[in-house]
Amino acid sequence: MTASTFHERLELARKAVGISARQCDRLAGKAFGTCALLEKRAHDTKGKASGVLPQTAEAFAAALGVSLPWLLLGVGNEPEWASITRDVAERLKALPHTEPEPAEGPRVDRSPEFVQTPAGVP
C-alpha cells in the first residue's frame, strides 16, 4: 500500500504492527479516539493536507517505532515491520491494564460512595 499522507501512514504503520487504534492511543499516551480520528481524516480530506500537532505526530511515531520524518512526510524508506512489531508488542504488554479516559463527554465517577443502590437494598 502506498501511503501519501500522514494519516495514511499512521494507519499503515498501526496495521503493519498489528495493533488496534485504541492500543495505539495507549502507547502514544493520547486520549481514546485520537488515532482513529486522525486515520479517518485521511478519508475525509481526500489527500489534502490536514494539520496535526507536532507533539501528537512525535508521540505516535515513538509509539509505532517509526521515524518522525517518515510518519509526517514519507521521507526515507518504509520501516522494517517485523522488528518493530516485536518491540511494540513488548511495550504494549508493559502498559498498565487501565482504560484511558474518554476524549470527550462527561466524566463519570464510579467510586463506591457514588453508586446508588435501589430502594430497599441495605
8 A C-beta contact, residue 36 and residue 21: yes
Q: Which of 86, 88, 59 is nearest to 72 (CA)?
A: 59
Q: 2: Cβ–Cβ under 8 A, 6 or more apart, which residues?
A: none
Band of pLDDT at residue 115, cut at 50, 70 and 90: very low
Whole-structure pTM over 0.75, yes or no?
Answer: no
- Indicate the domain borders of the chain: 6-95
8 A C-beta contact, residue 41 and residue 7: yes
The CATH T-level fold of domain 6-95 is 434 Repressor (Amino-terminal Domain) (1.10.260)
Please write the tens of the pLDDT for every residue from 77-101.
Answer: 878 777 788 888 888 888 776 554 4
